[in-house]
Structure 1
Amino acid sequence: MKSATEFGSFFPLDPAVPLGGEAWLRPGDLLTGTGRDALRAMVAHGRSHGWRRLYAPSYYCHAVLDDIARDIDVRMYLHAPFGGPAQLALGDDEAAIVPEYFGLQAEVEVQGGSVLLDRSHDLLATWSYARAPDYVFASLRKTLPVPDGGLVRPPPGQPFARSLAPTPAHVRAAASMAAAMAMKAAYLAGAQVAKAAYLALAAEAEGNLRSDAEISGPSALTRVLAPAVDLGWMRQRRQENLALLARCFAGPHAALPAGMQWRETPAFGILLCADAPQRERVRQRLIGADVYPAVLWPMTWPGVPEDNHRLCGRILVLHADYRYGLHDIGRLGEIILQIAASIAANPDTSDEDRR
């Protein structure tokens, strides 16, 4: 496998993506244009059966909630990763999003109503619950190298909807995203492609995917490619990479400095910094080393508890997926340790001062 030139960010369009393996889509699954479309399709279906309100965890992608709030009354319930279990009692005309944060087992106990389990971070997760979810949904781009795509999995034997066709606006947006992914692949292969050009195209495509007022089906590329990938192999590679990355921080001579924590999850490596200023310094230094962590998610809705804001200010989400070989992961671990140690040794020196 070619050594990685950078870590994280969105997938390139990969002509060598592994194909085959055990089929992971099930009869009755519905592919949609995006994860938002999957959630909107469930809400539309639920409203036709009397739903009037949707509850979402306070620690969630609030940009998604902004969109769903146009379709149904959305309320928050208090819940966040690493924060322990939550209980929720619903009426018959209410539903709730229950997240498997970073592929971890969900910790929300719901009485009544309908449960929508968000499995975006680990499509092959096999967690079982005392109460089976009414629906499972996901955004495919968190796991698969595809330009678009969402999934709705209804209960067995209860068909949800026929295949959805992509809307014209979605076709255009997905084509732009595929072009940005192809440009990124060329850039990583050494072609003279400006990074700013494909990042700008991806950002524009992302905005257009979100702005489509209609609920869309996926692009033709995703409809063909998503079922064909060897998702089991990709998941196994990710688990091996994450285990190796965790070992990079084990032992007295490789431990993270005080105030920083490493959390290994099924989907990502999570670096928790001491506070928001330290997190921002670590993030900027990682970007300078071609490591692009995610911050999941900005807390923009009113009423979010302070501990959710603190977590959002401390968290960095690092990718260790199938794109990377063992040598790459060892190098990633070294980069993280070097940056963390440097910042811990100079806590009052900003990156601007060092320059």
Structure 2
Amino acid sequence: MTGDSRRRALAGGGATGVVHGRWEHGSDFHLTLPRGDADAFPWGRGPVTLWGSGRDALRAVIRRGRQHRGWRRLHCPSFYCQDVVRALAREIDVVLYAESPLEPAPALPRPAAHEVLLVVNVYGLRPRPELPGGAVIEDHTHDPWSDWACSSQAEYAVVSLRKTLPLPDGGALWSPRSAPLPEERAMTSAHAQACLDRLSAMALKTRYLEGRRVAKAAFRALAVAGERAVGAGDAPSGVSGYTRAALPALPTARWRRARSGNRAALRAALGDLPGVSVLDTPFAVTLVFHGTGADERRDRARAALADARVYAAVLWPLESAAVGGIPAEHADLARRLLTLQCDFRYTRRDMMVVAERVRRICAAS
């Protein structure tokens, strides 16, 4: 890959390539603001409010519901990010209903007048459900531009933007039914520092991938510190000025098509893996390890993939439960999953490299 082609790739047109040993797959986004068609706000016909993170958006709408609607309890799926659940449990009583990505969509509980239901499109896998009535919030983070997200009938809907877009922060909140929205807020000082850390890490990662003399440990430390602090303040934070300005310029429809094509290519190239099934979803390709010692084989495979510069994610660890009620089989499933990213950063060639390394490592684990 030439210097010009590398710069085009890092600007949002495809993979980072193998130059100076700097090829890698997965982990946090590098910083990019590409040219091209922009279509970041397709949700409904009403306003979209921006927050520091998806959990800030959820906390803000729950606070409004408590104040104006008397909400006292949130029904939350059992297979969900525990950092988010922990943040929500500071705002409202949280009870769980059983749901996991390997099971059929559950019958959703009908919230009482003082309750609200959180419906999550985990991995972008779920079909649009029949909503049970009452107050409903939908989380579309794993497929923000699905048909379901763009034509939702829920009272409120949220997206965590930094999970699928090269942004340092950001959560979007809107009401498909034109319900009143909480007013946007300024950034808190804690969130401003978290955003600065993440934005700095993204900029340094871009230079690292270009082959510049940047220490990986330097930007990783900033990324970890920033991620740990996002959404952790006492009050919901507003969004950064960078994300507010950059979001409308992003070609989200093109990037969603790129993710879909990469995902199909990776799934086909993986073939049949010993002791592993493949969960193919709009968000990513997820490996499900089976059999005796599956959790240990998952851990060995993840470590070996990281040594091969393929950084697989665990979505989500459920050992440190934020509230009681997670079924044991869901916690066990979480210990057997590895998720491989397929987003716009990569080309079909990258997917072939990832597939070869996954096949080799799964055969040895």
TM-score, normalized by length of structure 1?
Answer: 0.90
Alignment of 1:223-242 (within 5 A): 223-242=244-263
Asked if 1:248 corresponds to 2:248, the answer is no
Deviation string, structure 1 residues 144-199 (Cα, Å, up to 9, x no partner):
10000001111243341344322222222211110011111111111222211211
1:36 corresponds in structure 2 to 55
Q: Which amino acid aligns with 1:3?
A: G
Aligned pairs for 1:100-179 within 5 A: 100-106=121-127, 110-127=131-148, 132-179=153-200
Matched, 1:3 2:17: yes
Q: Secondary structure at the match of 2:158?
A: strand
Q: Which of 328, 335, 338 is equivalent to 1:306?
A: 328
Structure 1 counterpart of 2:227, from 198, 206, 218: 206
Deviation readout 1:249-273 (Å, 9 max, x if unpaired) = 34xxxx212x211111101001111
Query: SS state of the match for residue 210, structure 1?
Result: coil
Task: Mark the runs of 5 or more structure 2 residues left unpaired by the alignment.
Answer: 1-8, 10-15
Aligned equivalents of 1:144, 1:22: Cα separation in 2: 13
Deviation at 1:123, TM superposition (A): 0.9
State whether residues 177 and 206 of structure 1, in contact with CA within 8 Å, keep that contact through their aligned partners in structure 2.
Answer: yes
SS of match in other structure, 2:194: helix
Give the partner amino acid of 1:59: F
Question: Residues 304 and 83 from structure 1, CA distance in 2 versus in 1: closer, same or farther, beyond 3 angstroms?
Answer: same
Q: Verify the 8 A CA contact 1:31 1:152 in the aligned structure 2.
A: yes
Residues 124 and 309 of structure 1: CA distance in aligned 2, closer, same or farther (over 3 Å): same
Of 271, 283, 288, 1:267 maps to 283
8 A contact 1:256–1:341 mirrored in 2: yes
**2:293 paired with 1:293:** no
Structure 1 unaligned blocks of 5 or more: 344-355
Q: Does 1:74 align with 2:74?
A: no
Q: Does 1:54 align with 2:74?
A: yes
Q: Which residue of the partner structure matches residue 316 of structure 1?
A: 338
Q: Percent identity?
A: 37
- What does 1:323-334 correspond to in 2, within 5 Å? 323-334=345-356
| C-alpha distance in 2 between matches for 1:291 and 1:161 | 40
C-alpha separation in 1, matches of 2:90 and 2:184: 24
> Is residue 51–residue 171 contact of structure 2 (8 Å, CA) maintained in 1?
yes
Corresponding position of 1:221: 242
CA contact (8 A) 1:29 1:152 kept: yes
Given that 1:117 and 1:137 are in contact with CA atoms closer than 8 Å, whether structure 2 keeps it comes out as yes
C-alpha contact (below 8 Å) 2:81/2:316 kept by paired residues? yes
Structure 2 CA distance, aligned partners of 1:306 and 1:128?
30
Question: How many equivalent residue pairs?
Answer: 337
Could you say which residue in structure 1 is the equivalent of 2:39? 22
Deviation at 1:113, TM superposition (A): 2.7
Return the offset for 1:304: 1.5
1:12 is aligned to 2:33: no
Structure 1 residues 278 and 118: CA distance shift in structure 2, 3 A: same
Cα distance, 1:78 vs structure 2: 1.0
Counterpart code for 2:62: V
**Quick one: distance in 2 between partners of 1:128 and 1:69?**
25
Two-structure CA RMSD over aligned residues (Å) = 2.0
Q: Give the SS at the match of 2:282.
A: coil
Specify the SS of the correspondent of 2:148: coil
Give the structure 1 partner of residue 364 of structure 2. Answer: 342
The two structures have a TM-score, normalised by structure 2, of 0.87
Instruction: Provide the rounded CA distance (Å) in 1 between the counterparts of 2:221 and 2:111.
Output: 42
Question: Contact 1:272 / 1:315 at 8 angstroms: preserved in 2?
Answer: yes
* Cα distance change, pair 128–43 in 1 and its aligned pair in 2 (3 A): closer
Using a 3 Å threshold, how does the CA distance of structure 1 residues 33 and 112 change in structure 2: closer, same or farther?
same
Moved over 4 A (4+): 106-110, 128-131
- Determine the C-alpha separation between the residues in 2 that align with 1:19 and 1:315: 35
CA contact (8 A) 1:28 1:153 kept: yes
- The aligned counterpart of 2:5 is none
User: Aligned equivalents of 1:25 and 1:227: distance in 2?
Assistant: 11
Q: CA deviation at 1:226?
A: 1.2
* Aligned equivalent of 2:209: 188
Residue 93 of structure 1 and its aligned partner are, at CA, apart by: 1.2
Q: Distance in 2 between matches of 1:78 and 1:219?
A: 35
Closer, same or farther: CA 178–131 of 1 in aligned 2, 3 Å: closer
Q: Contact 2:136/2:155 (CA < 8 Å) preserved in 1? A: yes
Amino acid at match of 1:103: G
